[in-house]
Each structure stands twice: as structure tokens, then as C-alpha cells.
Amino acid sequence: MKAMNETRITFLSRSANEGFARSAVAAFISQLDPAVDQLSDIRVALSEAVTNCIVHAYPDSIGTITVTVRLYEDGKVVIKVRDKGRGIPDIAQAMEPMYTTGGEDRSGLGFLVMETFVDKLRVRSKVGSGTTVTLEKYIHLRQTDKPV
């Protein structure tokens, strides 16, 4: 199925952009008229993915993060968060709840939160090349069974 709408935003891995990414993605998805709860779910999941890039992909430098959002007529939203950072050597380990290589106050819950608040989570990574996190969530369109 072809996406009916799509956006791609690229920004530097500065923490000040976490809020910007959430707002930009929420603004784009609002054309589907999502329920507040579902939009909140997406904002949280997206925030986790972007934060991971900032904290882990580029720990000692500033790199770029690209967020692509695709909207489908059946209410499916697919968000890809991609970085060209150091990559994850062991994805399964990274996704274990409470596991973190971050510093103080990092809870290690990012992936668990993402999994909980979206319908599908995929992580692809290559050490030295970067990581792509794909979040998929079905928005329940307000008018049941009618495409937007």
C-alpha cells in the first residue's frame, strides 16, 4: 500500500531538538485526527527513539537524525528514526528492560516504552554505520471504516 502522505525531517542530535521532533511529528499526524491518547503514545515512543540517538548514537559528537513519517489510508502510521552513529553491537541486549550504557539517571526503559506504546517496533543497526528504529501504530480513525 502506498503512503498517502509523507514527511522527512533532519536535525542535529542536540537534546533541544527532542521537543521539536515530538511537536513536528504530532503536527504531521494530526491530519489523521487521532485520539489524544494515541497521539500521546506516539509522542512518547518517538521521544524515546530520538533520545536514544542523542544519548547513544553520537555520545561524543553531534550528528544528524532523520525522522520519516508515512501516513496510510487505513490509519497506519510508520515512523522511522535513523542515525549514522556508532550502532548497537548487541540489539537483543540493548532492548532488555533496565539495560543501559547511558550514565546517571538513564532508566534503560526506552525500548520497552516504545514497544508498549506502539503496535510494532523494529530495530536495525550496524556498528560503525548507524541505527534505524521503525515504529508502527494504527490510529483509529474517528469515522469508523472510512478512509481519510
Residues with catalytic function: 48, 52, 106
Residue 116 in the binding site for another protein (CB under 8 A):
yes
**CA gap 45, 123 in Å, rounded:** 13
Smallest distance, another protein to C-beta of residue 134, A:
18
What is the layout of strands, in order, in the sheet containing 5-12?
5-12, 64-71, 76-83, 130-138, 120-126
Contacts of 125 (CB under 8 A, 6+ apart): 87, 88, 91, 131, 132
Span interacting with another protein, options 16-24, 63-71, 85-93, 135-143, rule CB under 8 A: 16-24
* Footprint on residues 64-93 left by another protein (CB under 8 A): none
Question: At 13, is the secondary structure helix, strand, or coil?
Answer: coil
Binding positions for another protein, rule: CB under 8 A: 15-16, 18-19, 22, 40, 43-44, 47-48, 51, 54-55, 97-98, 104-107, 109-110, 112-113, 116
